[in-house]
Structure 1
């Protein structure tokens, strides 16, 4: 079998031509949506400096808010899951169980699974935090958070969702959930973070994904032990036991006094309920 011809440069077709109108549309797009210009190639030095400043603002806001959160668990999942559905209620119950273990529950702060996780923690009397992001659709702050941080960039938001957590619960979701799960797994693989537990819930939904994870191990594209980083279950009590064994005991977590906010710095703590 001969390999297909692969030209060094694809043939340019009339519909691919760049004219002045297309350039003007791109410039208008960047002016209307300045946050997207970060991914639009080189900008002016002042614009790039502005980008660095906005990234720093994102991180400083989040650091100031979550410094007082205590040990946390992050729940990932779809913004589109409706209240009363199987996975919404599963996430709600897991949020409550995490709070009972003494964890602060962190989510992306929006509706769906995120709301369910925050709601479970909130109703159980635990701390509940949302790391929100501005989007043209789907994303709005849910009413079950004690503290919300609005982020400008997805990558700064993902960093914060990982930074403060000792475990990660992944519920059914879309491309964003996959991105969050596999980035977390990669950070553990490469030892950028410690071997925190990843709990994948929703077996009917995720089974094809787990089959593919094991396929990757068989093909040698990940290590043979990497699939074991994921604990796959729909059983709430199994998940709680896994958290106790691989987060609470493994990292010797125990109740302790949290850092106290300093009024002179404009800091605010996250009050415990109950």
Structure 2
């Protein structure tokens, strides 16, 4: 019940109480540009020419092990009402790629901050969780890109202290909530010096493993600003009360994360590019309200966006 409780808490932004005593009609946020029931995968079948790019042992096994981070809301990855089925853009792109490659995904849900280290340790073949491509991560991880998302900010709608964030100096003196192990956390920690250089008090970084805790902290005024994904914040602002999206801060390519030098990368890249060419990719993004995040071509470990 833990993940289901978090989803309900995120949707209604209630105070934390024991159990999950939330009215049944309050647990599902209104849909804004998201259509989870749309079928975008049923027409896909194995493409032998793309599957031939897989290592022989992977083709023979027919299985690829995924470590996946699952949040509390669309569009990336979240739990359906049964608290077991994982839905979202990450899931649809993954399943579409697997279909073209003739593979079955063996998915294990894991906390965001543990997935990349687990790839290097051989626990998973692939990681998903809206992993942005950065030069630091590329030292130990390869990426096969499939969407362009990035970093953004949100505040309570009744908080007028920060109209937007063009520079992290706008955060000075505030408490900023973000996800543990994310590019957001790394950016905030790396750039803390900007406040001192501007003669202002430093901002405080509060990191959490669960998105629900971040949004609850914001509404309970333990946090002043949220830093998270552009697409996630846009959805949250459209579906949660008293939440205002401040806009984009930095764009990042997002991709499947693989161990450095993984032989799976060329096959995954070819599969994503096939989906782009066939129009299936556009239909997946349309389903999850993320058409503005489309990429023209999948790349393997491209340079980090400036």
Tell me the TM-score range normalised by the shorter chain. Answer: under 0.3
Structure with more of its chain in strand, by fraction = 2
* TM-score where L is the length of structure 1: 0.28
Structure with more of its chain in helix, by fraction = 1
Structure with bigger RCO (C-alpha 8 Å, 6+ apart):
2
